[in-house]
């Protein structure tokens, strides 16, 4: 149900008030006029009655009652009233009936005014005349009598209908005036209400414009002083909101400029794990989608292991975490870190940073290749040179002394031996530095969950295993993660390779467990065992895990993947 407008409410209340006041005025005025008219008529009737009595006394004596009746018939029209003379209830004279008809008139002794006049000397009454059939004002006075006039009651009658006609005309006039006042008041109230609602409408439109972003909207003219504080408050509110929004826009532009100027790719995730902001460097790292905002990390092209790690990160539990180093499909290598950030009512968000370390990774690869080349291509020939030089020097030393040329050759061979030894020391130092560097890199690398990698490999190989009729399931495993120091993608590929080489139509039971450290071991191992028939010509994919200290071997027909266990 629609609510009535303020104009209609104001108009109805004003009309009700006017109706009440004007009704009271109408009732009071008409009653006052009626009383005034009746009082004036009564006074006029009294005066006329006194005049008739005086004229009666002056005119006496009358020869008989007929002469009295004739006199009353002659005087009545001049007075404008009905004049009646009553003796002992009998009508002797009546100006309206005439001398000929008075004998036929009924007895008037019971008339109220006659009875009062007989009792008190004066009587008055307002009633309908039985003779004339009209409402009349009767006044009567007792007469002592005079020559020719017996003692009786002189009565005078004034028509009330004429008086009521005057009152009715006054009532109609007053009613017309009050109706005009009522209508004029309603129109004035409507105009005032419209003006007030116009101000309210202007204020509401100004507030709506401010809500739509027009912060320069102001209310300049207010016709009523009562609305001035509200208009001033809304103007101040619009100015303050505009100032805050401009400040926020400046900060946002500054933030976007800072983010776009960063060399690292940066993404801000909400509590649901969707990207709410991304900078230019991140869009360059993941160019598959033109817009990353609103997407999940996996939809944006980030590795699955990154999304899993982001889902496991609790912003309230720790400030930041290094996820690890990953090679993207484009060939770039990035190091990923995540940190918590305040969010909305849904929960805290996450800030993910992708540091492009492609050049560093390339230099590490070049350094590793160089070390390998130095180890295989320089050390072996150098060992041969050193061996032949030492053999030649020993042979020369065993030869007879005194030959100067042989002594010079021995000295030259000694120099070759020393140089070869120095070069071998340099190569050994280089290999030792490389081992230390790669060992520190492995220690600094974040731990990955071997159990999660196994489950991902099972999910990825599900279609192939069903086609081969293979049933593979994890029959034993811990409730929590199995942290290892390995490349996550290489670990998934290793597990998937072992699963794909399972013979057709067999059942494969998989167990995953951590073994305690033994003497000479740092932190123990994690073993994943694939128990079931092995395929003929099985190839163990051990190369991908060797860099991290992992190995793949056969324990009878059981394929075993052993990985160094990481702390945590």
pLDDT tops 60 at residue 444: no
Residue 542: closest CA among 533, 556, 531, 553: 553
Q: How far is CA 480 from the centre of its chain?
A: 41
Share of the chain above pLDDT 70, in %: 77
User: Residue 554: enclosing H or E segment and its boundaries?
Assistant: strand 551-555
pLDDT tops 70 at residue 232: yes
Same domain, 329 and 438: yes
Same domain, 440 and 295: yes
Distance CA 468, CA 444 (A): 41
Distance CA 116, CA 107 (A): 16
Q: What angle do CA 172, 176, 177 make, to 5 degrees?
A: 120
pLDDT band (50, 70, 90) for residue 393: low
Q: What is the pLDDT of residues 61-109, one digit of tens each?
A: 777 777 777 887 787 777 777 888 888 888 888 877 777 777 778 778 7
Share of the chain above pLDDT 90, in %: 0
Q: Is residue 181 included in any domain, yes or no? A: no
Same domain, 435 and 460: no
Q: What is the pLDDT of residues 22-63, one digit of tens each?
A: 888 888 888 887 778 777 777 887 887 787 777 777 777 777
Count CB neighbours of 554 within 10 A. Answer: 11
Higher pLDDT, 278 or 370: 278
pLDDT tops 60 at residue 537: yes
Average pLDDT value for residue range 489-510: 85
DSSP per position, 445-484: SPPEEHHHHHHHHHHHTHHHHHHHT-EEEEEE--SS--EE
Could you give the residue ranges of the DSSP H alpha helices within 374-507?
A: 379-398, 404-444, 450-460, 462-468, 488-500
| pLDDT number for residue 472 | 86
Q: Range of 379's domain? A: 262-444
Residue 171: closest CA among 286, 34, 279, 288: 34
Question: Where does a domain end: 146, 165, 184?
Answer: 165
Q: What is the CA radius of gyration of the chain?
A: 63
Higher pLDDT, 156 or 434: 156
CATH of the domain at 303: 3.30.450.20
For the full predicted model, state whether its pTM sits above 0.75. no
Q: Is residue 191 included in any domain, yes or no? A: no
| Three-class DSSP category at 193 | helix
Same domain, 398 and 497: no
Q: What is the pLDDT of residues 312-322, one digit of tens each?
A: 777 766 677 77
pLDDT tops 70 at residue 135: yes
| pLDDT number for residue 409 | 62
Same domain, 247 and 291: no
Question: Where does a domain end: 165, 181, 208?
Answer: 165
Higher pLDDT, 374 or 248: 248
pLDDT band (50, 70, 90) for residue 519: very low
| pLDDT number for residue 156 | 83
| pLDDT number for residue 175 | 84
CATH of the domain at 556: 3.30.565.10
Distance CA 70, CA 563 (A): 154
| pLDDT number for residue 371 | 66
Q: Is residue 176 included in any domain, yes or no? A: no
CB burial string 363-375: b at 16+ within 10 A, e below: ebeeeeeebeebe
Question: Where does a domain end: 410, 444, 478?
Answer: 444
pLDDT tops 60 at residue 1: no
**HSE value, Cβ hemisphere, 13 Å, CA-based, for 426:** 9
Tokens of 333: 């290598």
Cβ-contact 548, 442 below 8 angstroms: yes
Tokens of 308: 């899993």
Average pLDDT value for residue range 6-21: 77
Q: What is the pLDDT of residues 167-220, one digit of tens each?
A: 778 788 888 888 888 888 778 877 777 777 777 777 777 778 877 777 777 776
| pLDDT number for residue 536 | 74
Distance CA 297, CA 261 (A): 22
Same domain, 351 and 269: yes
**What average pLDDT does the chain have?**
77
Same domain, 289 and 433: yes
pLDDT tops 70 at residue 547: no
Same domain, 236 and 269: no
pLDDT band (50, 70, 90) for residue 151: confident
Tokens of 412: 């030259």
Residue 324: closest CA among 435, 452, 430, 497: 452
Task: Give how many domains the chain has, as a whole number.
Answer: 4
Q: Is residue 238 included in any domain, yes or no? A: yes
Count CB neighbours of 160 within 10 A. Answer: 21
Same domain, 409 and 520: no
């Amino acid at each position: 149900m629609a609510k009535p407008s303020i104009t209609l409410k104001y108009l109805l209340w004003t009309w009700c008030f006017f109706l009440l006041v004007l009704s009271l005025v109408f009732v009071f005025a008409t009653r006052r006029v009626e009383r005034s008219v009746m009082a004036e008529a009564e006074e006029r009737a009294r005066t006329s009655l006194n005049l008739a009595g005086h004229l009666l006394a002056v005119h006496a004596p009358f020869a008989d009652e007929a002469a009295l009746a004739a006199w009353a018939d002659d005087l009545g029209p001049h007075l404008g009233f009905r004049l009646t003379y009553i003796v002992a209830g009998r009508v002797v004279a009546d100006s309206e009936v005439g001398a000929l008809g008075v004998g036929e008139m009924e007895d008037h002794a019971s008339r109220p005014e006659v009875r009062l006049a007989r009792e008190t000397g004066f009587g008055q009454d307002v009633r309908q005349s039985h003779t004339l059939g009209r409402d009349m004002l009767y006044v009567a006075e007792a007469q002592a009598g005079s020559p020719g006039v017996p003692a009786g009651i002189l009565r005078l009658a004034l028509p009330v209908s004429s008086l009521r006609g005057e009152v009715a005309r006054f009532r109609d006039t007053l009613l017309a005036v009050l109706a005009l006042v009522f209508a004029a008041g309603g129109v004035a109230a409507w105009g005032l209400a419209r003006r007030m609602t116009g101000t309210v409408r202007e204020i509401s439109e100004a507030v709506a414009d401010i809500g739509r972003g027009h912060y320069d909207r102001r209310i300049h003219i207010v016709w009523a002083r009562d609305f001035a504080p509200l208009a001033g408050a809304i103007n101040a509110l619009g100015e303050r909101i505009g100032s805050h929004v401009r400040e926020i826009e400046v900060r946002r532009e500054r933030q976007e400029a800072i983010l776009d100027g960063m060399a690292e790719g940066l993404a801000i995730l909400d509590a649901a794990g969707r990207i709410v902001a991304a900078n230019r460097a991140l869009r360059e790292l993941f160019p598959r989608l033109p817009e990353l905002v609103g997407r999940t990390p996996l939809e944006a092209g980030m590795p699955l292991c990154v999304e899993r790690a982001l889902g496991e990160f609790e912003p309230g539990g720790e400030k930041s975490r290094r996820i690890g180093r990953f090679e993207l499909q484009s060939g770039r290598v990035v190091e990923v870190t995540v940190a918590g950030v305040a969010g909305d009512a849904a929960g805290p968000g996450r800030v993910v940073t992708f540091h492009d370390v492609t050049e560093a990774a390339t230099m590490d690869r070049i350094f590793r290749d160089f070390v390998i080349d130095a180890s295989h291509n320089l050390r072996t020939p150098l060992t041969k040179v050193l061996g032949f030089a030492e053999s030649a020097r020993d042979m020369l030393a065993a030869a007879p002394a005194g030959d100067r040329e042989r002594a010079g050759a021995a000295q030259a061979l000694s120099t070759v031996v020393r140089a070869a030894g120095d070069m071998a020391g340099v190569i050994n130092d280089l290999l030792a530095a490389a081992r230390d560097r790669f060992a520190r890199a492995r220690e600094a690398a974040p731990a990955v969950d071997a159990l999660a990698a196994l489950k991902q490999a099972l999910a990825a190989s599900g279609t192939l295993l069903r086609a081969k009729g293979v049933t593979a399931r994890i029959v034993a495993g811990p409730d929590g993660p199995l942290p290892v120091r390995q490349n996550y993608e290489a670990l998934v590929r290793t597990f998937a390779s072992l699963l794909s080489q399972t013979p057709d139509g067999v059942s494969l039971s998989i167990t995953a467990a951590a073994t305690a450290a033994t003497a000479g071991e740092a932190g123990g191992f994690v073993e994943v065992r694939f128990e079931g028939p092995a395929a003929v010509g099985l190839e163990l994919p051990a190369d991908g895990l060797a860099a991290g200290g992992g190995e793949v071997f056969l324990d009878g027909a059981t394929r075993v993947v052993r990985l160094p266990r990481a702390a945590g």
